[in-house]
Amino acid sequence: MGTPGEGLGRCSHALIRGVPESLASGEGSGAGLPALDLAKAQREHGVLGGKLRQRLGLQLLELPPEESLPLGPLLGDTAVIQGDTALITRPWSPSRRPEVDGVRKALQDLGLRIVEMGDENATLDGTDVLFTGREFFVGLSKWTNHRGAEIVADTFRDFAVSTVPVSSSSHLRGLCGMGGPRTVVAGSSEAAQKAVRAMAVLTDHPYASLTLPDDAAADCLFLRPGLPGVPPFLLHRGGGDLPNSQEALQKLSDVTLVPVSCSELEKAGAGLSSLCLVLSTRPH
């Protein structure tokens, strides 16, 4: 899901999916992942939904958990949304591809125009796509290939689309994000800094930049809320998560900081932007 930036309508809806019990075991959450404290993960998810609804004034739509889809809560990987168009992705992992079905139906019900990825050679995870409000950057990673990026460009022809190599095991938005309408925030790792340098070379637009001690802190969501007269929000990791980055985030003076925790969900590979889809215009 592209992060809303300058020139876009205010957000109206947020879509999340409940945490299934199958995520509690290491086997259920995927090979090599640790077992989760299910109650803590569900609390974190509930707080996130509450912040989206009560703090940001969005209409919250929650898909029920599906035990056959332990990584279903990471629904940010399943679609890229801009305006009234939703590109349904083709996740790299075949076991995750059924996750798109419930998301597709929910977005159809909201009146969005649905675009499918029909090319079996294409892979695309939504959290490899960063929308700045002016253009798209697509991370070429373990999960997203060139053909997936080409389909993003074909779908959103009104915007420039550039590809950024991701030299770590992260998605692009696990390394950098939008901290405001003209500010890119990025982690301090070499992979994050390399991605930011590549973006700076590729863009025709001037962006300020802010480096954070933790890569995961850059996985944030800049949102223009649905409430009139309310300044933009930055939904970011807080609540004791990533304490080294909290002071640096205070430098973002043109947004209201809204902290949430996802330290337990992070064990299943969840970044903040993977846990929700936000619609940046009101669908018909």
Report d(CA 167, CA 237) in Å as an integer.
23
pLDDT, tens only, 215-260: 999 999 999 876 667 789 999 999 889 999 999 999 998 899 999 9
- How far out from the chain centre does Cα 58 lie? 16
Q: Which of 11, 176, 262, 276 is an active site residue?
A: 276
Give catalytic status of residue 262 as yes or no: no
Relative to beta strand 129-131, strand 135-140 is antiparallel
Identify whether the C-beta of residue 273 lies closer than 8 Å to the C-beta of residue 127.
Answer: yes
- Structure token digits, residue 37: 């404290």
Q: Given phi > 0 = left and psi -120 to 50 = alpha, else beta, which region is 229? A: left
Report d(CA 204, CA 206) in Å as an integer.
7
Report d(CA 170, CA 140) in Å as an integer.
10
Torsion of CA 203, 205, 208, 210, to 10 degrees: -30
The domain 18-23+36-279 having CATH identifier 3.75.10.10: the answer here is yes
Q: Report the amino acid identity of residue 166.
A: V
Report d(CA 79, CA 63) in Å as an integer.
14
pLDDT at 144 over 70: yes
- Whole-model pTM: value is 0.93
Q: Mean per-residue pLDDT for 259-272?
A: 94
pLDDT, tens only, 101-139: 999 999 999 999 999 999 999 999 999 999 999 999 999
pLDDT, tens only, 72-102: 999 999 999 999 999 999 999 999 999 999 9
Residue with tokens 């025709």: 204
Residue with tokens 């064990």: 267
Report d(CA 203, CA 213) in Å as an integer.
24
Residues forming a β-bridge with 53? none
Give catalytic status of residue 276 as yes or no: yes
Q: What share of the chain is helix, strand, coil (3-state, %, to 5)?
A: 30, 25, 45
Question: Where in the chain does DSSP place strands (E)?
Answer: 13-17, 59-63, 79-82, 85-88, 113-115, 129-131, 135-140, 160-165, 176-180, 183-187, 208-212, 221-223, 233-237, 256-260, 277-279
pLDDT band at 26 (very low <50, low <70, confident <90, very high): low
For the chain, give the number of residues: 284
What pLDDT was estimated at residue 12? 87
Q: Which of 13, 45, 171, 236 is an active site residue?
A: 171
